Amino acid sequence: MHDLFSNPSKPFFRSTAFLHLEQIDFAIYQNFIVQQFEKYKKKIDKEVVAEILNWTNVHTYYVQLLCNRVFSSSKKEATTKTWQEEASRLLKEQEMVFFTYREMLTKAQWKLIKAIAKEGKVYSITSSAFIQKYAFGSSSGIIRSLQSLLKKELINKQYDEDGKQYYSVYDVLFLRWLEAL
């Protein structure tokens, strides 16, 4: 999407202003979710909401998806067990998609995306520590796999609050599924 507006060869080049949206503040989101449950006479502890927010990386789509499932499946109270069961169901429902991802990737790409998932965020993708930890052959092989995974939009390049670049798995559900392998 970024390319559509920032690439001079694309039809919408410079036709809009870029706007970066930050994540919703953790505490504000946590209180909002508790209030929404209470509004409908259901209970969810702040600690349980914190677990959900951490599992979803405070990514609004996944927070809303999981909270909707938790809300629908709970009668009076949502617990850690409730959200974990719903999260497991979500991962199971998506498993065929994840198997398809695995089939379309080379062994090197699959190995790299699993390593990125295990790390959560990878700042130095060609560092000797990363290469040794996951037994990669060479940095050039990592770069080729990285470029392919970026092109396929399975991983993304982001910047932290200090402007430092890192790589992470784009889809939180896929990330959680990979972590379990």
Kind of pairing between the strands at 165-169 and 155-159 = antiparallel
Q: What is the pLDDT of residue 111?
A: 97
CA distance 9 to 24: 34
The structural domains of the chain, with segments of one domain joined by +, span: 26-91, 105-179
Helix (H/G/I), strand (E/B), else coil: 152 = coil
Q: What is the pLDDT of residue 122?
A: 97
The class (CATH top level) of 26-91 is: mainly alpha
Overall pTM surpassing 0.85 (yes/no): yes
Phi-psi region of 124 (alpha: psi -120 to 50; beta: other; left: phi over 0): beta
**Which candidate, 87, 54, 92, places its Cα nearest to that of 70?**
87
pLDDT-flagged residues of the chain (< 70): 1-3, 19-21
pLDDT in tens, 106-157: 999 999 999 999 999 999 999 999 999 999 988 999 999 999 999 999 999 9
Right CATH for 105-179 from 3.30.9.100, 1.10.10.10, 3.40.1350.10, 3.40.50.300:
1.10.10.10
Q: What is the pLDDT of residue 75?
A: 92
Q: What is the pLDDT of residue 2?
A: 64
